[in-house]
């Protein structure tokens, strides 16, 4: 019994050592960037994690529209994310509902096409997207980005949504039909309210996807005022690496804090959504 207890103590001690090490590895970059953002001066030479004369100057500079486009980038990103989310959710619900409830010519082929399309990331065709935007005059517009994001979101999320709708009993529709409800009414007043949890998951996915995308925004956006946060932040340090690092640090903190809070409060939706996506295809 005593050897068992001893073993248990050793095991717990080792576990705590690992946990402490992991916490250090996770928190160190975060503390470092927060510390950098309060550092006086533009570069990091001679700085320390806990700055001696901490300053809010870099944050103030970011909020100054004359000196920085940061607020514009924030606004652009929010606009693109929200519009992409709204359009995607509407289109995904309509498409998934047809796939789930109707048996029509081309259904099977359509589903197969969606299955294959969701496997190829849509930025693989970046040459085409660039050429097409160039020809249609949509290069350097947010509309182009929103369209590409929405189109790219349809296949995978339709699959997710269809899987969920399949679990809502069809008897509900049938009894509503007997009561004289039309197709659209069944969709809008009976099925959609029951699908709210999955609508939440898809809204989350389609909001966060444009937020974290870098490659498409980088290809399609040309002028600085139109950048999204990902492209803007990259330009901020790519231009003159290190010379504006503290400003970049402040910019990072202002993105990371709200998004992390949003994420942590909705984390269970992410896990459930991604799990459903993986198993149901």
Please state the closest distance from residue 25 (CB atom) to other proteins, in A: 7
3-state per-residue secondary structure call for 78-134: HHHHHHHHHHHHHHHHHHHHHHHHCCCCCHHHHHHHHHHHCCCCHHHHHHHHHHHHH
Provide the minimum distance between the beta carbon of 145 and other proteins in the complex, in angstroms, as a whole number: 10
Site for other proteins in 67-126 (CB under 8 A): 91-92, 94-95, 97-98, 101-102, 104, 107-108, 110-112, 115-117, 119-126
CB of 56 vs other proteins, minimal distance in Å = 20
- Which residues ranging from 130 to 189 are in contact with other proteins (CB under 8 A)? 130-132, 135, 147-148, 150-152, 154-155, 158, 163, 166, 183, 187
Among residues 79 and 130, whose Cβ is nearest to other proteins? 130
In this complex, which beta carbon is closest to other proteins, that of residue 66 or of residue 109?
109
Interface map 246-275 toward other proteins (x if CB under 8 A): --xx--x--xx--xx--xx--x---x--xx
- Specify whether the CB–CB gap between 227 and 214 falls below 8 A: no
Nearer CB in complex with other proteins: 25/178: 25
Cβ proximity to other proteins: between 67 and 185 the closer is 185
Q: How many CB atoms lie within 10 A of CB 207?
A: 19
The span from the CA of 255 to the CA of 248, in Å, is 11
Q: In the bound complex, what is the minimum distance in angstroms from residue 242's beta carbon to other proteins?
A: 6
Of 2, 127, 196, 239, the residue at the interface with other proteins (CB under 8 A) is 127
- As a whole number of angstroms, the distance between CA 149 and CA 145 comes to 6
**Closest C-alpha to 205, from 256, 142, 145, 275:** 275
Instruction: Give the torsion sign (CA, 98, 102, 103, 105).
Output: negative
Cβ of 23: how many Cβ atoms within 10 Å? Answer: 10
Which C-beta is closer to other proteins: that of 38 or that of 248?
A: 248
Q: What is the C-alpha separation between 121 and 144, in angstroms, rounded?
A: 17
Taking the complex as a whole, the smallest distance from the CB of residue 226 to other proteins amounts, in Å, to: 17
Q: Give least dist CB 1 to other proteins, A.
A: 14
Please list every residue from 7 through 66 that binds other proteins, using CB under 8 A.
8, 11-12, 15-16, 18-19, 22-23, 25-27, 29-30, 32-33, 36, 43-45, 49
CB of 239 to other proteins, least distance (A): 13
* Contacts (Cβ under 8 Å, ≥6 apart) of 146: 80, 83, 84, 87, 210
Instruction: Lay out the site mask for other proteins across 190-229 (x = CB under 8 A, - = otherwise).
Output: ---------------------xx-xx---x----------
Alpha-carbon distances of 133 from 88, 91, 155, 166, rounded to whole Å? 20, 22, 21, 37
Question: Which segment (51-59, 62-70, 188-196, 233-241) binds other proteins by CB under 8 A?
Answer: 233-241
Gap between the Cα atoms of 238 and 227, Å rounded: 14
Q: How far apart are CA 238 and CA 125, in angstroms?
A: 25
Supply the minimum distance, in Å, between the C-beta of residue 61 and other proteins: 18
CA distance 232 to 217: 10
């Amino acid at each position: 019994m005593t050897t068992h207890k001893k073993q248990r103590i050793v095991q717990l001690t080792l576990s705590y050592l690992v946990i402490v090490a992991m916490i250090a590895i996770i928190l160190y970059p975060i503390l470092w960037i927060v510390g950098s953002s309060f550092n006086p001066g533009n570069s990091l030479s001679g700085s320390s994690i806990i700055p001696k004369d901490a300053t809010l100057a870099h944050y103030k500079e970011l909020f100054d529209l004359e000196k920085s486009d940061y607020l514009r980038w924030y606004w652009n990103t929010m606009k693109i994310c929200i519009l992409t989310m709204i359009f995607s959710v509407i289109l995904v619900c309509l498409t998934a509902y047809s796939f789930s409830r109707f048996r029509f010519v081309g259904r099977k082929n359509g589903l197969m096409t969606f299955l294959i399309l969701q496997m190829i990331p849509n930025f693989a065709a970046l040459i085409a997207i660039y050429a097409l935007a160039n020809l249609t005059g949509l290069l350097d517009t947010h509309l182009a980005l929103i369209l590409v994001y929405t189109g790219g979101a349809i296949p995978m999320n339709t699959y997710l949504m269809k899987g969920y709708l399949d679990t809502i009993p069809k008897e509900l529709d049938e009894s509503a039909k007997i009561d004289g409800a039309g197709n659209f009414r069944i969709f809008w007043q009976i099925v959609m309210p029951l699908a709210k949890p999955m609508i939440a998951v898809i809204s989350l996915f389609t909001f966060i996807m444009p937020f974290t995308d870098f490659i498409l925004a980088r290809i399609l956006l040309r002028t600085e005022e139109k950048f999204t946060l990902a492209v803007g932040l990259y330009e901020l340090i790519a231009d003159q690496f290190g010379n504006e690092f503290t400003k970049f640090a402040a910019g990072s903190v202002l993105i990371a804090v709200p998004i992390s809070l949003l994420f942590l409060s909705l984390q269970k939706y992410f896990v459930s959504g991604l799990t459903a996506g993986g198993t149901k295809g």
